[in-house]
Structure 1
Amino acid sequence: MTHARTITLTVNGKSVTATVEPRTHLADFLREQQLLTATHLGCEQGVCGACTILIDGEPARSCITFAVACEGRSVTTVEGLDEDPVAAQLRDAFMEEHGLQCGFCTPGMLVSARDVVLRRPNADEERIRLEMSGNLCRCTGYVGIVNAIRRVLDARKTAAE
């Protein structure tokens, strides 16, 4: 006996209707059914942040969110931020500041960093580190990541003046 449910949600701006088992995590749904493989799975316990996406504009861990809980909601993965100007600034800054190495954590880092830039425009280094503390990286030591976010914050302040 199957308990599969049909859900409808918006993924990266497009309406999606799919049948999922109630236990299917959003990350698995995105990767396996929607073929959006930039959402990475690390710890699968919501600790590392590699699977961070946006649900209704708010960062969330897709590895601990059930797909059925997203019925009627809007989900944005890093692929859905391709045309986003803040995400574009962050991608450039991550490259310029060497904020990525292996790239495994980068999609989740970019989603979280975008949230910091938009929500905390006056963040200093300490605040950036606090806000990003839910995203783990085994390669960079965070200096480049923090510098990249700081670079985007500074550029946005200068542009606003």
Structure 2
Amino acid sequence: MTTVTMTVNGRPVSGEVEGRTLLAEFLREGLRLTGTHIGCDTSQCGACVVHVNGRAIKSCTALALDLEGAEVVTIEGMANPDGSLSRVQQAFQDHHGLQCGYCTPGMVMSAAALLQDNPKPSVEQIREHLEGNICRCTGYHNIVKAVLAASGQDVSALAAE
């Protein structure tokens, strides 16, 4: 076992991990941050997306030890300082960008990363960016609408579903 230290959601943390411990496991089991979901263990579904040093990654494929000293943000760290939902989280709620909710944390994290890099993405850019996130329930329409709304763009041109 080796000690790994990083900052998670603005708070310094450390824990004992094996060399094979994935970041998703460390977050969920070691830190009890269960908002990061594990849906496939093969980096296909995107339910485990978190931000590491400002970049979105799939935490089911990153070793915790490789992230020594990293700055990690999980879905639990996305809320505003007063505890209210972030603009992306609020847009997902307002535009029904979720159904069962299993993929939602990864979708929100991926959408936030997109908006950080591209504050006004097109519908096509949103769809392309979210290709690595699988949703088995919604059909993606309202997810795309939510991301568009979070960017401050007009969503009235998108047909209601």
The TM-score, its normalising length taken from structure 2, stands at 0.89
Change (3 A) 1:132 1:53: same
Q: Which residue of 1 aligns with 2:125?
A: 127
Deviation at 1:155, TM superposition (A): 5.0
Equivalent residue in structure 1 for 2:69, among 45, 68, 72: 72
* CA deviations over 1:98-142 (Å, ceiling 9, x no partner): 110000000000000111112112311111100111111000000
- Partners of 2:111 and 2:26 lie apart in 1 by 24
* CA deviations over 1:52-71 (Å, ceiling 9, x no partner): 00110100011111110110
User: Which one-letter code corresponds to 1:27 in the other structure?
Assistant: A
User: Which one-letter code corresponds to 1:102 in the other structure?
Assistant: C
- Partners of 1:55 and 1:63 lie apart in 2 by 13
Q: Which residue of 1 aligns with 2:44?
A: 47
Deviation at 1:153, TM superposition (A): 1.4
User: Which one-letter code corresponds to 1:10 in the other structure?
Assistant: T
With 105-114 and 120-129 compared, the bigger mean Cα shift is at 120-129
Identical columns (%): 44
Q: Which residue of 1 aligns with 2:18?
A: 21
Equivalent residue in structure 1 for 2:87, among 70, 73, 89: 89
1:136-155 superposed matches below 5 A:
136-155=134-153
Is 1:61 the counterpart of 2:66 in the alignment? no
The alignment yields a C-alpha RMSD, in angstroms, of 1.7
- Partners of 1:108 and 1:146 lie apart in 2 by 14
Q: Which runs of 5+ in 1 are unaligned?
A: 157-161
Q: After the TM superposition, which segments of 4 or more aligned residues of structure 1 sit over 4 Å from their partners?
A: none
The TM-score, its normalising length taken from structure 1, stands at 0.89
- Partners of 1:26 and 1:38 lie apart in 2 by 13
